[in-house]
Structure 1
Amino acid sequence: MKSSMVEKEGFAALVLRLRAEGISDLDLLTAVEQTPRSVFVPSMMGTEANSSRTIPIECGSFMEGADLAVRLLHRLQVKPGQRVLEIGTGSGFTGAVLGRLAERVLTVDRYKTLVTGAQGRLDKLGLRNVVVRQADGIQGMPGEGTFDRILVTGAFTSMPRFYAEQLVSGGSMIAPLMLEDGTCLMMRLTKTGSRFDREDLFPVPYLPLVPHIAAAL
């Protein structure tokens, strides 16, 4: 079967699963459809690109399953004209989808290999409004102004209250928090005044954030 047909069938199956969860945002699903995941997964995993399974990528990292990736983007509620910060570029897939929804995206990763690979894929898709940078994003990106939305895919061990300064009033961030029992819970933090309102979402498979840029890779 041709790869384009596999991609289309995989995306159609993904849409059915998402609609069963109540996710039918046309703008989001269109952005996902325009960002073929087969471009972002290792070549031998092409048939699994739109599956719900976790896919290993370089530097010991992984791509979350397509279902979880879209579920997070749905919860982020990105609107046209917004600035978005993503901590954890990985393959570049979520950054690419965000680039189709927002005005500007800054995405950072600690691994040079992942940053270079993601940049190449974004260039191939012609997404000029997504900036990829190698950086230690554990404290966010101070000095880059404020953002309307922040997405983090590495887990914090305590509430990241310092991020409030990097969000506009009414802005929100989605990030995982490691709980005392060892589970990892995704939460949405919405800035109200100088504080966060917290909403717990669902368990996720993310690992704790690691400080500093990687010395190798």
Structure 2
Amino acid sequence: MGSDSKDSSARRLDMVREQILARGIRDPRVLEAMEQVPRELFVPRHLQDEAYEDHPLPIGYGQTISQPYIVALMADMLGLDGRERVLDIGTGSGYAAAVLASIALEVFSMERVPELAERARENLRKAGFSQVQVRCGDGSLGWPEAAPFDGICVAAGAPAMPDALSEQLAVGGRLVIPVGPEQGVQRLLCITRRPDGGFDREDFGDVRFVPLLGEEGWSRD
């Protein structure tokens, strides 16, 4: 067990050096979180050997765990300094929530698939992140009673910025979300709320995410 732990630690360091630093991410908080969170605990057992590979992995129910670089990029885009309350949409296996919880003050995470929400709670508990609150529900509507949030991170592609999420964003807060077609290439946007109530947008390029399903996302009806 000791050698397995050392091997995982070494693979995490290699991942950060080769996949994260090499692509220009420099925030020490993000790098430290990526080095510390045991990604192998958040992937299916039969895929644990691929936990640190540079690609997404299936986690069941048509969902995936994003590639490490994308998780790091989205955390970096939020610009966290450790004092923030963050809403994570699309809990999946819980990995991104764990990374965010390593940086932010509080993390609230939403997952629409009940089985994945329960699995994420267990994964987070095993990894030592039981402070993350996980709710099963429509992520496109956010978590109104816990708002406002200093950061909102959406791990699913939306047809447009959901009004419910923008309304739950604190002044100066950032919403990171893929926007575009249900299938194919989306654009990864960082939306910042201005004091006058308006929003500034920054485009970080092409990404591919599963669709954000819900009242203010894509419909399956």
Report the alpha carbon displacement of residue 181 of structure 1 after superposing the two structures with TM.
Answer: 9.8
Note if contact 1:41-1:49 (Cα within 8 Å) is conserved in structure 2.
yes
Note if contact 1:110-1:136 (Cα within 8 Å) is conserved in structure 2.
yes
Q: Distance between the aligned counterparts of 1:86 and 1:6, measured in 2? A: 29
- 1:105 is paired with a residue whose SS is strand
Partner residue of 1:204 out of 177, 182, 207:
207
- 1:199 is paired with a residue whose SS is strand
Task: Flag structure 2 segments of 5+ consecutive residues without an equivalent.
Answer: 216-221
Residue number in structure 2 paired with 1:70: 72
Letter in 2 for 1:63: I
Residue number in structure 2 paired with 1:60: 62
Q: Distance between the aligned counterparts of 1:112 and 1:82, measured in 2? A: 27
Residue number in structure 2 paired with 1:7: 8
Residue number in structure 2 paired with 1:215: none
Q: 1:3 to 1:46 in 2, by over 3 A?
A: farther
Q: 1:181 to 1:10 in 2, by over 3 A?
A: closer
| Percent identical | 34
Letter in 2 for 1:200: D
Residue number in structure 1 paired with 2:142: 140
- Provide TM-score, normalisation by structure 1: 0.90
Letter in 1 for 2:170: V
Note if contact 1:82-1:103 (Cα within 8 Å) is conserved in structure 2.
yes
> Does 1:164 find its partner at 2:161?
no
Q: Distance between the aligned counterparts of 2:183 and 2:70, measured in 1? A: 22
* RMSD (Å), alpha carbons: 2.0
Q: Distance between the aligned counterparts of 1:54 and 1:82, measured in 2? A: 27
- 1:107 is paired with a residue whose SS is strand
> Does 1:35 find its partner at 2:62?
no
State the aligned residue count: 212
Farther-moved stretch of structure 1 (106-115 vs 20-29): 20-29
Letter in 1 for 2:25: I
Note if contact 1:185-1:200 (Cα within 8 Å) is conserved in structure 2.
yes
Partner residue of 2:178 out of 165, 176, 179:
176
